[in-house]
Chain A
Amino acid sequence: MVPNVSQLIPTEDNLIGWILQIAWLGFFVVFMFYGQRFQIYVMLREIEGSLRRLKYIKDEGRKDAISTINELGKPKEDPTARVDQFLEYIAISPMNMDPSGIVWKLEHILDVRDTRFEDDVKLMAPEADETQIKNLENTLEATLALNYIYKVVRHFYMLGKKTLSLYVIMQLQMVLPLVMKEAEALSSALKAFTYGQPIGDGAGALVAAKLMQGHEKRKIAKDIVVATVPIEGRKAYVLKAEGPGGNLGKPGEAIKQILEENGGKIATIVVIDAAQKLEGEKPGDVAEGVGVAIGGPGVEQFKAEETILKYKIPVNAVVIKEDIRDAVSPLRKEIFEAANTAINRIKRLILERTKEGDAVIIAGIGNTIGIGQ
C-alpha cells in the first residue's frame, strides 16, 4: 500500500505524529539559530585533521633531521636541544619605510643568517664534511619551514576555536589545501636533502653542469663556479652554484663579476632556471623569454639586473616548468630529460642572437644539491 503522507499531520489520537512534528519544528529552530555554529564545528574538524597531519609531517622531519645529524656528524652530545632551538630561529626583514638601499640591507641579513646556520650546523655535526654540512643546512631549513607552517596553522585554528569566528576559521579552511601542498612538498624535500639527492629546483644548475663538464672551473663569487666553454664558435661563461652540496650561491654577483671582467663586452646572457608550472602544464616543459630568471628573495636578481642595465646587454630566460612539489622533491625523469631540451634551446638562441667569436654568459640557477660539475 502506498503511504499517505497526509496521515503525518497529527490528529488527536496520533501522539507519535505530534512528537515528530514538535521535534522537526525544534530542529528547524535549532538550525535557524545554530546553523552557523554547526558549520564552524564541521570546518574546525576539517582543520583539526589537517593540523594532525601537519604535526606528523613536522615531527617526522625533526626526527629525520636529528637522526641524519647523528649519523653524519657524529656529535659527542645529543643534538636534540640544539635542533629544537634552531627550529625557532627567526630572521627579521629590514625596515622598508625608506626603501632606498633595502636590497643591500636584506643581502646583509641573509648573509648573516647563512653564516649563522652554517656555524650552528658545524657545531651540531662536527664530523660532517662540507657537502654534508650544506645538505644538513638544507635539511634543517626545510624542518624549520615545516615547524613554522604548523605553528601558524595551529595559531589560527586555536584563535578560531577561541573566538568561534566564522571568518577566521573560513579563511584558514580555504587556504589549507595550498598550505598542505606546500607542507607535503617540504616533507619530500627533507627526504631528498637528508640523502643528498638532486631536486627539481636544480634543473638550471643541471643544464650548466652538463655544459661545463670536462672544462676547467674557477670560483667567481660566493659558492659559484664558472667555466669557459666554446659553444657554436662563441666563448661561453657557464656558471652554476658549487655542488654537490645543497647550494644556491650568489649568481647575481657572479654575473656582475664576469661583466666587469669583460668590460661589459658580452653579446647576450642566458639565464636558466626552474619555474612554477600552472595546473595543466606538463612538468619538464621548456619555455623561453626575456629577463633575469633568478628566484629567491630578489637580491641576486636585482644585482644582475643592475649590472645588465649598466652595459645594456640583452638578457634571455630559459625556464623548465615544474610544480612546487617537483621543485623540492628528488629530480623527476621528465625534468632531468628537459635539461637536454634546454641545452638545445640555448644553442639555438646563441646561434640566432650572437655572432661567431662573441662572448656570452650562461647562468644555471637553482639548488645544486646532488649535482657536481
Chain B
Amino acid sequence: MGETKTPRRISTFFLAIIAVTLALSIVAIFSGVNAYLDENTGTAYPSLLIGASGLALSAYMLLQTRRRTSQFTIKMQPVNTTLLCQKCGFKNLREFQRGDYIFKEAEECPKCKEKMQINSIYREAEEKE
C-alpha cells in the first residue's frame, strides 16, 4: 500500500512571519519598559499592550503549528447479549462473545436445565442525540 511522505511540519514562510511578529513584540515590550522607567506612560502603555498582544499571537501561532501527537483511539462500546429461557423465562445478561447471534441456542438454563436462546444483542449508546 503506497504511503505518502510525512508532510513538513511548518512552512518557512509561515515561520518567518511568526519570527518577525515575535521580534517586533519583544522590541515593543522592551521600549515599553524603557518608556515606563522614564515615566513616559503615554508611550509605555501602548507599547506594552502591542508587545503583549504580539507575543500572545506569535505564541498561539507557534502552538497551532506544532504537530499534535497521534493519540487517536477507536472506542468500542460495550455490547450485551441477553439469554432467555423459553421454558421458565429466566433471563441472563452478559457481555457479547464472539459467535453469539440473535436466536442462537446457547448454554443451559441454570434453573430448569433447558437450552436458553439468545434473545437480544445490542449496545446502549452513550452519545446524546
* Residues in chain A within 8 A of chain B (CB atoms): 1, 3-5, 7-8, 14, 16-17, 19-20, 23, 30, 37-38, 41, 45, 48-49, 52-53, 56-57, 60, 62, 84, 87-88, 147, 154, 158, 161, 187-188, 191, 195-198, 206, 209, 213, 243-244, 282-283, 326, 329-336, 370-373
Q: Are A198 and B124 in contact (CB under 8 A)?
A: no
Q: How far is the CA of A18 from the CA of B65 in the complex (A)?
A: 31
Q: Is B52 an interface residue (CB 8 A)?
A: no
Q: Is B94 an interface residue (CB 8 A)?
A: no
Query: What DSSP secondary structure best describes chain B's contact surface?
Result: mixed
- With contacts A191-B74, A196-B101, A371-B103 taken as known, whether A8 is within 8 angstroms of B123 at the C-beta atoms is no
A sample of 22 inter-chain contacts (CB < 8 A) reads A1-B42, A3-B45, A3-B46, A20-B24, A20-B28, A20-B50, A30-B17, A41-B11, A41-B14, A88-B1, A154-B4, A158-B4, A161-B7, A209-B102, A243-B101, A283-B129, A330-B123, A332-B124, A333-B123, A335-B122, A372-B103, A372-B104
Tell me which residues across on chain A come within 8 A of B98, comparing CB atoms. Answer: 195-196
Tell me which residues across on chain B come within 8 A of A331, comparing CB atoms. Answer: 121-123
Tell me which residues across on chain B come within 8 A of A187, comparing CB atoms. Answer: 74
Question: Which B residues between 70 and 109 are near A, CB-CB below 8 angstroms?
Answer: 70, 72, 74, 76-77, 79, 96, 98-104
Q: Are A57 and B74 in contact (CB under 8 A)?
A: yes
Tell me which residues across on chain A come within 8 A of B27, comparing CB atoms. Answer: 16, 19
Q: A160 CB to closest chain B CB, in angstroms?
A: 12
- For the A-B complex, the count of residue pairs with Cβ-Cβ distances under 8 Å equals 122
Q: A219 CB to closest chain B CB, in angstroms?
A: 17
Q: Are A3 and B42 in contact (CB under 8 A)?
A: yes
Q: Are B28 and A3 in contact (CB under 8 A)?
A: no
Q: Is B37 an interface residue (CB 8 A)?
A: no
Tell me which residues across on chain A come within 8 A of B96, comparing CB atoms. Answer: 195, 197, 330
B9-43 CB mask vs A (1 if < 8 Å, else 0) is 00101100100100010011001000100000111
Q: How far is the CA of A19 from the CA of B47 in the complex (A)?
A: 11
Q: Are A7 and B1 in contact (CB under 8 A)?
A: no
Q: Is B111 an interface residue (CB 8 A)?
A: no
> Which of B68, B98, B123 is most buried by chain A, counting CB atoms within 10 A of its CB?
B123
Q: A1 CB to closest chain B CB, in angstroms?
A: 5
Q: Is B63 an interface residue (CB 8 A)?
A: no
In this complex, what residue of A is CB-closest to B64? Answer: A45
In this complex, what residue of B is CB-closest to A64? Answer: B74
Q: B80 CB to closest chain A CB, in angstroms?
A: 9
Q: Are A372 and B102 in contact (CB under 8 A)?
A: yes
Tell me which residues across on chain B come within 8 A of A20, comparing CB atoms. Answer: 24, 28, 47, 50
Tell me which residues across on chain A come within 8 A of B104, comparing CB atoms. Answer: 244, 372
Q: Are A16 and B43 in contact (CB under 8 A)?
A: yes
In this complex, what residue of B is CB-closest to A198? Answer: B121
Q: B3 CB to closest chain A CB, in angstroms?
A: 8
Tell me which residues across on chain B come within 8 A of A41, comparing CB atoms. Answer: 11, 14
In this complex, what residue of B is CB-closest to A4? Answer: B42
Q: How far is the CA of A37 from the CA of B120 in the complex (A)?
A: 55
Tell me which residues across on chain B come within 8 A of A62, comparing CB atoms. Answer: 1
In this complex, what residue of B is CB-closest to A213? Answer: B103
Which of A16, A158, A197, A373 has a CB less than 8 Å from the CB of B47?
A: A16
Q: Are A196 and B74 in contact (CB under 8 A)?
A: no
In this complex, what residue of A is CB-closest to B105? Answer: A372
Which of A38, A283, A370 has a CB less than 8 Å from the CB of B121?
A: A370
Q: Are B46 and A8 in contact (CB under 8 A)?
A: yes
- Those 5 A-B pairs whose CB atoms lie nearest each other, nearest first: A244-B101, A3-B45, A372-B103, A16-B31, A7-B42
Which of A283, A333, A373 has a CB less than 8 Å from the CB of B103?
A: A373
In this complex, what residue of A is CB-closest to B48? Answer: A3
